[in-house]
Amino acid sequence: MTKEEKQKEIVKIQQSKGQLLASIEKVEKYLPLEDFKDYCDAIYTAVAYQDIILKAIRFPDMQDNVSDLYNIES
């Protein structure tokens, strides 16, 4: 992956993270408390995975270590 391709992927993932986090405020008024908690848990889980992917893109030499650390298969 070229430096430009990496940068494009990083921007896409960061935008996605921002949209996911922004959605929390938008849906809060439409969900009962327990459903909202579940929604937040799911969003934060997705954001955590995106952080792992960003780390793998930024530091490709550490990709195996990142996968092992979080017990994820490529």
Torsion of CA 62, 15, 28, 52, to 10 degrees: 0
Q: Give pLDDT, residue 39.
A: 97
Q: pTM score, two decimals?
A: 0.74
Say whether pLDDT at 41 is over 60: yes
- Going from the C-alpha of 64 to that of each of 2, 7, 48, the distances in angstroms are 19, 21, 17
**Gap between the Cα atoms of 20 and 69, Å rounded:** 24
Average pLDDT for 43-70: 82
Type of residue numbered 35? D
With cut-offs at 50, 70 and 90, classify the pLDDT of residue 55: very high
Residue length of the chain: 74
With cut-offs at 50, 70 and 90, classify the pLDDT of residue 1: confident
Q: Give pLDDT, residue 34.
A: 97
